[in-house]
């Protein structure tokens, strides 16, 4: 399948990202959210990514269809976490199982290294075996499980954390 990696923009990709988010909210435990998001949510989401200097990486088909996307953001708000980010990757339901999640995650790892980060963390629903396997293939290590921290579709949900330590930055500093 031919595709290209793109930097997502609000103008070109917000509607497609919104569709992918809302499908995940309504049909899966990939997002621990109940209500579909709105265009206004996307304005704030893209703004937060821009203000944080965080990438929004997409995979488009030759026809310009957004098939997958991913990003990262602050892991926690305290200053000492400045070298750590939490990422997310979503693949449109029609394109799952074709390796696109791997392409996006590899791009996010490269962006994190380029931005002198030290660790990239994924918080994954424990039943999402495909995502867990992908993270393990790319060298992420299971670093913890939070049992029954979410409740969706009438079930308690366990959240697992996977972490990849990077060799960057070369000269980390306090403050």
pLDDT by residue, tens only, the chain of 175 residues: 688 999 999 999 999 999 999 999 999 999 999 999 999 999 999 999 999 999 999 999 999 999 999 999 999 999 999 999 999 999 999 999 999 999 999 999 999 999 999 999 999 999 999 999 999 999 999 999 999 999 999 999 999 999 999 999 999 999 8
Residue-level length of the chain? 175
Answer whether 42's CB lies under 8 Å from 17's CB: yes
Strands (E), the chain: 3-7, 56-61, 66-74, 84-91, 119-125, 141-152, 155-165
Whether residue 11 is contained in a domain is answered as yes
Whether residue 172 is contained in a domain is answered as no
Residue 175, pLDDT score: 85
Considering the domain boundaries, does residue 115 fall inside one?
yes
| Structural domain contains residue 175 | no
What CATH number has the domain bearing residue 57? 3.40.630.30
Which residue's entry shows tokens 């031919």? 2
CA 143 from chain centre, in angstroms, equals: 17
The number of beta carbons lying within 10 Å of the beta carbon of residue 13 is 20
173 found inside a domain: no
Q: How many domains does the chain have?
A: 1
**Residue 23: CB atoms within 10 Å:** 17
pTM of the full structure: 0.94
Q: Vertex 104, ends 110 and 146: CA angle to 5°?
A: 95
A 10 A CB-CB count for 113 gives 15
Domain extent for 21: 3-165
């Amino acid at each position: 399948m031919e595709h290209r990696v793109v930097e997502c923009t609000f103008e070109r990709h917000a509607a497609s990202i919104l569709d992918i988010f809302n499908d995940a909210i309504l049909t899966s435990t990939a997002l621990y959210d109940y209500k579909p998001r709105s265009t206004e949510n996307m304005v704030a989401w893209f703004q937060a990514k821009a203000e944080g200097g965080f990438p929004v990486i997409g995979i488009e088909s030759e026809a310009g269809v957004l098939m997958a996307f991913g990003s990262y953001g602050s892991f926690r708000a305290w200053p000492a976490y400045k070298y750590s980010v939490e990422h997310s990757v979503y693949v449109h339901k029609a394109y799952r199982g074709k390796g696109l999640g791997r392409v996006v995650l590899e791009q996010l790892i490269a962006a994190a290294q380029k931005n002198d980060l030290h660790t990239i963390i994924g918080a994954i629903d424990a039943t999402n075996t495909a995502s867990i396997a992908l993270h393990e293939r790319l060298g992420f290590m299971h670093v913890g499980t939070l049992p029954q921290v979410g409740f969706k579709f009438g079930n308690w949900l366990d959240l697992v954390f996977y972490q990849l330590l990077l060799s960057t930055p070369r000269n980390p500093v306090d403050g």
